Structure formats: C-alpha cells, structure tokens
Structure 1
Amino acid sequence: MRTLFAFVSFIAFTVSPVYSLSQGSIVVDGNGVQLTYTDSGAPDSSPYTTIFAVHGMGFNGGIFSKIQALAPKQQLRIVAVNRRGYAGSTPYTPTELSIIANGTAEQGTTFYRSVGVELLTFMDTFIQEHDISVFNGDNRSAGGVALVSWSIGNIAGLAAIAHIEDVPEATKSRLASRMRTFIMQESSSNALGLPAPPQNWVPLDISDPTIPAVHQYTAFAQWVSAYFDHGDLSTRDPNVISWVVPSSFTPFTVFNMTRNQYDTIVDTSSNPALDAAQLALAPALESNYRASNFNSTVRSMLPQMKNWFMTGTRSASFGPYCIWVVEDDNAAAGGGFVDFKTIDGVNHLMHWDDPELALSVYESIIFS
C-alpha cells in the first residue's frame, strides 16, 4: 500500500530541505485517502523504538526533521505523519468540509472516528511493511511504538486512541502488542474539547477579529513560536501566565529558520484555518480526550500504553494552562491515568530549537 512518489511529487511535498529523510505515502481507507510521511529510517541495530509524530496547526511534519536527523543514533526511528491537507496528504472532501464548518455533535463523532481510524491504519500499515517489533513490557527495553501528538495534532492522536475498538481485530492486536507510550505534547484545552480560560488570546479572529484574515496564520506562526516570560507556574494561577505578549529577549523559533525551511514547513493556507474551525466540534473532541485517557475499556485495548502530557515553561499560554486542566481531570478520575512532565526553559517548538533536548525528553518518557 505504500507508494514512493515520482520525482515531481517528491519535490511537491518535500518538507525537509536540510536533512536526508525517506518519504512516501500510505493509503488509509477504501476511498484512496493517503497520508504522506517522512521517515528517519531504521537504526543500524535492532530492536529499536518507533515514534509516530503528528504535527500541529500551521506547521507540517517537517517541523520534526531535526529530531529525525538525530534519531537513528539514539536507537529510535521517527515517522512524521502529515495530517489531511498538509504536505501532499489527501485534502478533506466537500462532505467533510461541511461537517467541519457546520457539523452536529453526531456528525462530529462520525468524522473523528474516521480521522482516528485513518491514523491507526497508517500506523498498522507501517508496522507491517517495516516489521516493527513488539514491545516486551520492560520499560527499559527498546521495541514497540510511541505516538506523539503535538499541539492541535492532539485532535488526531486522541481520535486514534479513542477509536481503537473501531479497527479490525488484526490491527487492534498488532497495535496492542506494540503501543507503549502516548504523549500529548503542548495541547490547548480547546483541542481537548474543553473551554479556554477567559484570559485566553491568540492572534486569530476567535480572539481578535481586527487582524486581517490574510495575515492571521502568519501572525499565529510567529506568536506560537515565541518564548514567553510567565510568572511562577508552580502556583497554578492563570494570572501568572503571559497570555498575550512574548518575551522581548529571545528570538521566535521561526526566526531561526532559513527562508527555504520556513517555506516548506510553515503552512499559512487554508489548512490551519480548517484546524481552527474544528475546535467548534467540542463535544466530539472532549469525548475522544476522556475516552483516550480515562475510559478503562479503551485503555484495556492498549494494555501496555502509558499516557503522558508534557509542556514547556516558556511555551505559549495554552500549554502551561492545559497541563493543569489535565492534572485536575486525572485527579478527579482517581489518578494514575496520565503522567506529566514540564520542561524548563523551552517553548512550543522545542523539537526545532533544541532537538537534542527534545529527543532526550521523549526517551525519558518512553523508557520510564
């Protein structure tokens, strides 16, 4: 099912202009929907651990290319999956666009079942094609797979875990024997279907309709890649968060990109707008969030999987706030469902600005 693109297609969706990564696509349903990807490749020895990484709003899978370049030496394989519409992956159909724009709660549930099954099918197909090893249950050992969902990419990651029961038994069995870690990295509360706090602000029309539509996603890419000087986050007080204004003393991540890197990784077209529109499907998003983390039936289908939430102390406001929300939900559910990690000094794009640190954090979580 995997298709290596011809040279013209290869150029069309190249997202890693600096690092040498293999690229391809996997068909994920009977209608020919495909998800493109880049792959760091297998390390020289086995077993190794495979990370499937799902990107966020306005940045395609190329945002993971720096950690992909380092992965093989760490006995890791990183596969960056491009969500629908991004970097050559199949765009949404008119019916799907209608649901995103005006869908009912029931339609949202059906839509995200498809989104989740597509990602699970991608992972399972890659596992079969590359003979990815099972996980033996020893957290210190290599093998198996992890799923990292970054930012609004958590919409897809949570949909996948929540709908594990909706894939064929053979797929479910292969994933159950390999899935060791699910990392929610830097999600916002509204990507989980939960309310944003009253202080919340982003440079989009949901917060500031005075920003011209043509500039909103360029502004967002800059703002979300900034560093923020929050107050004492240990207080868990929303008022210590810098909700609007970034630090004046640390360059934004996008300022550390070459023009070629920016042009091939940052997407300010209709795709981020469609991501933002999906936040209105909150009932389905919340259902997926709660099922993936706190539903014992769903969790029992992936019995070796540990769930984590991670954020940086200098990330945009929604990350430090959301970790408190998930901590509270975890406690309300009785505890032990989700583990948490806060990384000092990093922003929302840690995997680009400090790939060595990012990789070490992923390793510390996966092998804990």
Structure 2
Amino acid sequence: MSDITVDDHGHSLYYEDTGSPPNAEDIYTTLMIVHGTGFHGQIFRRLLPFALQHYIRLVFISRRDYPGSSAYTDEDLEKINTDSAEMNNEFAEARAAEFARFIKTFIEKENIPRASSDWKRGGIVLMAWSSGNAYTLPLLSYADSIPGDTRLFIEPYLRSLILFDMPRWIVGALQLPDALRDLSLSEEERVQRFNIWVSSYYSHKSLASRNLADLQSVADDDPSIRKSTYEVLTPEEIKETAYAPPSTGSELAFRNGSPAIYAERVRRAIFDDKLAKYWPRAGVDVVWGEESIWVVVGATWELQKAREKANEEGIVGRPLRFFMIPGANHFPHWDEPEMTMKFFADIIDP
C-alpha cells in the first residue's frame, strides 16, 4: 500500500499491489485496475487469491477524490462544473498525464518486466471498470500530449487498455437519467438506489439486435432471481469497499459534458490513424457482462458500430477486440472472482 506523485503540484494516486508472483518466470504481466463510481480498489480484492496462480501482478489504483488519493482542487472541479468543452477536455487531458506518470514511476520503482517480443506476456495492461473508463481512455485520446520522454519510456510496456463494463455516456451516447440525478431523493437514497440498479442481474431479450428495446432496464422483482451484489454485501463489506461522496459530486459533474465531447474522445483513442502511431502496439479490449446493466451492452453496440464505420472509411486505428463474460453482472469480480480472474488471464496472456 503506497502512493505515487502524479503531477508537479504534489498530487498523488494511492494504490495497492500484490507484488510479483512467487516462483514466476522472469516475465509476468502487471494488470493495473481502476475502479468505477462509488467503489474503490477493495471491490476487486476477491481476485487476489487467483491472480498469482496465473502469474499476474495486480495493482489497484484509487482515482482522485477517493480514499488515499489526492482530492480534486477547486480549479479541477471548475473545469467540469461548466458547459465548456475546452475545460472538460483539459480535465480529461490532466487525467491522461496522471496515469502516464503513474505507470512510468511504477515501472521504475518496481522494475517491471517489459512486454515479450510476441506481445503476449509481460508489460502492463491498464484496465478500468465502469465509469472509471472515462478517466483512463484519455491516456490514448491525448497520447500526443504526453511528454515525449514519458511516452517513449512506457512504449515497451503498455500492451493494452481494457474497457471493462463501460457505460454508454463514455462513448457519447445519450443515457436516461439514473438515481444519482434524482434530486427528489436524499444523497444516501440516491447512492443506494444507484448501487442496487448497477449491480443487479438482467435478462436481456437480445444481445445482438442493437435495439435498445431488447435490453432490460429494470431488474425483475422476483425472489427466485439472484439478488443484486450490493444487496448481499454486508454492512462491513460496504464500509470496506464503497465510498459515496464522489458519486453525487465530482463523478456526476464530469458526466455533464455534451455527448459529442465523449464521442470525439473515443474516436481519438481508438479510430484515429495519426494518434495510433503513439504506443502503436497497444490495443483496446472491450469486456462486458452478459447480464450487466443495459447501458453497458449499449456501449458495446456503439463501439461495434464505430468499428464498422471506421472499416468502411479505411481507418485502421488501434486493434479492437470484444469479449463477453457469460452470466456476469456488473460485479463479476466480487460475485465470481475465480472465473473472472481466469477470464481476464486468458485475454491478457493468451
């Protein structure tokens, strides 16, 4: 448990690290995981017993405004509490710089092995879950703004970016208001309803139609159906894994940018041939749960359509792959950790 300074103002990101796998060969893969809204790195702790057997080093990173990491400054918050696309982009670009510096410093500090020559082992895979993707995707969107020495240093290590259960608003698609925006409720009620909604299990009519009407938006009120993850967490587990304040604060503010801002950010990250020359071997993997919330399935569809459009326009961009976790909701790392860790290991080290 430690932190790394990520800018010249002394702000830092807190992280927890399993260390290198015991009895591992000289090369192993480091998987850095960034959490979503309302939960921090401890929500991934059930993966720990299964990671080292796959020779994967896990690093849980807490984003700014979460326990252990620096809070956002008033200047930071001003950029996301306005309608200015320029200021929203400045905020996102600063997050890209933070993660680039974190990765570089961690590599230097821990002597992380480089990626193998066939790009199938070693190095670093950066994965964000849920809304955390809005903070890691800019690393690729603004790769051209990362200081050249940092960018070149990272290149032999950064193998891929995993977009794990990413919601629609991050790809620039309109999203219906959720409980976090319901001002008729107290903050505690807003957070609780959101957490139950986001962690329920859904039976979607079709996962291939690309018709939002085929996606279940409200979980069945049926005692025979598996309860939401949040409802089976004990009060102690909630205390240890969740952190509510940003949910109705900085998290909600960052979502208020216009859809066009986020759509452009995705285009730059994945479907821009000029930007893809930076970290040219770093691909993007989209991972989503079969029974996750509708906004995740919808985001996957949007990215599939964007890939098809880019192909028609002759845009190569970055390698993009799609993977579905069978039977998974939005929290498979908690509900089915052994299966989930193996699933990610198979993607990371094929």
**TM exceeding 0.5:** yes
Written as runs of structure 1 = structure 2, the 5 A alignment for 1:235-254 is: 235-246=209-220, 248=222, 249-254=225-230
Correspondence for 1:344 among 317, 326, 329: 326
Alpha-carbon distance, 1:243 to partner: 1.0
User: Alignment partner of 1:333: what SS?
Assistant: helix
Instruction: Confirm or deny that 1:113 pairs with 2:93.
Output: yes
Given that 2:171 and 2:303 are in contact with CA atoms closer than 8 Å, whether structure 1 keeps it comes out as no
Residues 211 and 137 of structure 1: is their aligned pair in 2 closer, same or farther, counting only changes over 3 Å? farther
Give the aligned length. Answer: 340
**1:216-275 CA deviation, whole Å, 9 max, x = no partner?**
012111211111121122223211111123463102112333322210211222345321
Which residue in 1 is equivalent to 2:345?
A: 363
2:75 is matched with 95
Query: Residue 249 of structure 2: SS of its match in structure 1?
Result: helix
In 2: Cα distance, 1:124 partner to 1:195 partner:
35
**1:215 corresponds to:** 189
- Equivalent residues in 2 for 1:8-27, closer than 5 Å: 23-27=1-5
Cross-structure match for 1:193: 172
Residue number in structure 2 paired with 1:42: 20
**Which SS does the other structure have where 2:58 is aligned?**
strand
Distance 1:363 1:52 in 2: 13
SS for the counterpart of 1:71 is helix
Deviation at residue 70 of structure 1 after TM alignment: 2.0
SS across alignment from 1:233:
coil
**Aligned equivalents of 2:275 and 2:241: distance in 1?**
34
For residues 253 and 307 of structure 2, the distance between their equivalents in structure 1, rounded to whole angstroms, comes to: 27
Equivalent residue, structure 2, for 1:54: 34
Relative distance call for 1:246 and 1:47 in structure 2 (3 A) is: farther
Amino acid at match of 1:99: K
Identify the residue that residue 130 of structure 1 maps to in structure 2. Answer: 110
Residue by residue over 1:186-206, the C-alpha shift from the partner in whole angstroms, topping out at 9 and shown as x without a partner, is 11111233323xxx352232x
1:304 equivalent among 261, 264, 281? 281
The answer to whether structure 1 residue 277 and structure 2 residue 257 are counterparts is no
C-alpha change, 1:189 and 1:325, in structure 2 (3 Å) is same
Q: Alignment partner of 1:92: what SS?
A: coil
State the distance in 2 between where 1:268 and 1:285 align.
24
Answer with 269-278 or 299-308: which moved more: 269-278
1:306-356, CA deviations, whole angstroms, 9 ceiling, x for partnerless residues? 211111111011111111011000110117642111122100011111111
Q: Secondary structure at the match of 2:180?
A: coil
Q: Which residue does the alignment assign to 1:19? A: none
Instruction: Spell out the pairing of 1:123-162 with structure 2 (5 A cutoff).
Output: 123-140=103-120, 142-162=121-141
Deviation at 1:209, TM superposition (A): 4.3
One-letter amino acid of the structure 1 residue matched with residue 189 of structure 2:
H
* Partner of residue 304, structure 2: 327
Alignment counterpart, residue 8 of structure 2, candidates 12, 30, 35: 30
Residue identity in the other structure for 1:291: R
Structure 2 spans left out of the alignment, 5+ residues: none
What percent of counterpart residues are identical? 26
Q: Which moved more, 1:99-108 or 1:306-315?
A: 99-108
Residues 232 and 124 of structure 1, relative CA distance in 2, 3 Å threshold:
same
Please name the residue that 1:229 is paired with: 203
Q: Per the alignment, in what secondary structure is the counterpart of residue 76 of structure 2? A: helix
- Structure 2 distance, partners of 1:326, 1:247, is 31
SS at match of 1:102: coil
Partners of 1:339 and 1:156 in 2: CA distance: 20
What is the RMSD of the two structures over their aligned residues, measured on CA atoms? 1.8
CA change 1:169–1:261 in 2 (3 A) is same
Query: SS in structure 2 opposite 1:243?
Result: coil
- SS of residue matched to 1:37: strand
Letter in 1 for 2:106: F
Q: Distance in 2 between matches of 1:149 and 1:65?
A: 15
Amino acid at match of 2:330: H
Change (3 A) 1:195 1:306: same
The one-letter code of the counterpart of 2:202 is F
> Aligned letter for 2:136?
G
Cα distance in 2 for partners of 1:107, 1:201 equals 23
Question: Contact 1:226–1:247 (CA<8 Å) still a contact in 2?
Answer: no
TM-score normalized with structure 2 length: 0.92
How far apart in 2 are the matches of 1:281 and 1:84? Answer: 19
- Report the alpha carbon displacement of residue 139 of structure 1 after superposing the two structures with TM: 4.3
CA-to-partner distance for each residue in 1:147-205, whole Å, 9 max, x for gaps?
11111001111111222222222211122111112111111111233323xxx352232
Opposite residue 81 of structure 2, the aligned amino acid is A
Contact kept in structure 2, 1:137 and 1:304, CA below 8 Å:
no
Q: Which amino acid aligns with 2:107?
A: I
Which letter does structure 2 place at the counterpart of 1:131?
Answer: N
TM-fit CA distance, 1:303: 1.6
